[in-house]
Structure 1
């Protein structure tokens, strides 16, 4: 396994937090391994700008994010408004080259697993067609159980290689709220997918030390076997 797709139940669920936490952990403890960051498609300002602000990456902006739209909406809508195609061939070519150059590539998806990439394809289609091992980020909030069950069912229907689930505290959460809104045993029983940990609420997403610490508390061996946990 040389890549991992980080997807979620929806927009703002915590894909970026997990991506930068894993990158902070990697660059802190595993500098001998070459890590690539890849955002296949981005609409509006966001992840690629944050990556380059936080990390010294041996990648150009186009290598990080080969397809960018100014309009912050779903790619099929943005492409129509800007009179441009969703050039998946270009995205795939850039990704293939990056895989050859790096020991491992973290791929941050857009939106959620069911979010549209084109008028015909969703993120789940891309995960299946590109054979991307996948981790699902679930926000800790009321309704998370149903969202998780639905997204795991979609992953299973689309034959996505779903390795595990990460819970993310999108706002400060008590232990009781985490247990009430996202009970691990119930989620695992309903989905038959392992919950690989919880990311606490991080008020400052630029604090690399706290990001690396959050990643270190996850069950990394389940979805990042290339790493040896410190």
Structure 2
């Protein structure tokens, strides 16, 4: 297992879109900063971005967790597009063509120049979501040789999504440090504890963390301990 002190870069992967990748990334950043670790985060492509509501965006939330403000938006998320669509489609609407090689190059440059002890690279959407005209979010950990934290949801059908994503990472021989199951806000969602246990029973040797809503400190600390192990 990679150590955040000698191989500090991690990819935050999602089993689906809008299931808590940024929530988990921010909690991990806050837990690491509370331990005195210098942190950095990078989400190279972001769609559905409203400049007037930047603080509510994924980039804004990452900046807040890092203790930074609007002036650092470009350093955390340089490719931002307005339409709430898949990044290549949102980019096309603004006359931009997203190519995976250029995105990977931006990420590699960020990894090289950041002096942080813990660096989190976050994808867009689910693991197999197109992030460019010729690539998916999966290309980032694969091309950059990064271990992942996989974030899954707890809605009906989430177990299939997260286990499928886990199998994709395993098929590419990409290390998974931990799997975080993010609690669903929908009162009609399946029982959260049962969902977590079901995921755990199929996750094999990958540690599973229960990311409950409310006080994030216990599970964020547990996740950080797995990352630093």
Output the TM-score relative to the length of structure 2: 0.81
Aligned to 1:142: 156
Aligned to 1:212: 217
Q: Which 5+ residue runs of structure 1 have no aligned equivalent?
A: 203-209, 226-230
Shift of 1:3: 0.8
Question: 2:225 aligned to 221, 224, 228, which one?
Answer: 221
Contact persistence 2:59–2:77 (CA under 8 A): yes
Aligned to 1:39: 43
Query: Structure 2: how far apart are the matches of 1:187 and 1:196?
Result: 8
Aligned to 2:111: 96
Shift of 1:182: 3.1
Aligned to 2:35: 29
Aligned to 1:206: none
Contact persistence 2:88–2:133 (CA under 8 A): yes
Contact persistence 2:10–2:148 (CA under 8 A): yes
Shift of 1:193: 4.0
Structure 1 segment 16-95 matched on structure 2, within 5 A: 16-30=22-36, 33-45=37-49, 46-57=57-68, 60-86=72-98, 87-88=102-103, 91-95=106-110
| TM-superposition CA deviations, 1:38-67 (whole Å, max 9, x none) | 112111231112233454239822211122
Aligned to 1:151: 165
2:196 aligned with 1:182, yes or no?
yes
Contact persistence 2:104–2:144 (CA under 8 A): no
Shift of 1:121: 1.2
Range that drifts further, 156-165 or 129-138: 156-165
Query: Structure 2: how far apart are the matches of 1:73 and 1:158?
Result: 27
Query: Structure 1: how far apart are the matches of 2:163 and 2:108?
Result: 33
Range that drifts further, 101-110 or 192-201: 192-201
Query: Structure 1: how far apart are the matches of 2:201 and 2:17?
Result: 25
Aligned to 2:145: 131
Query: Structure 1: how far apart are the matches of 2:65 and 2:149?
Result: 22
Q: Which 5+ residue runs of structure 2 have no aligned equivalent?
A: 1-6, 50-56
Contact persistence 1:168–1:199 (CA under 8 A): yes
Output the TM-score relative to the length of structure 1: 0.80
Aligned to 1:197: 209
Contact persistence 2:176–2:206 (CA under 8 A): no
CA RMSD of aligned residues (A): 2.5
Query: Structure 2: how far apart are the matches of 1:24 and 1:172?
Result: 25
Contact persistence 2:13–2:122 (CA under 8 A): yes
Shift of 1:134: 0.2
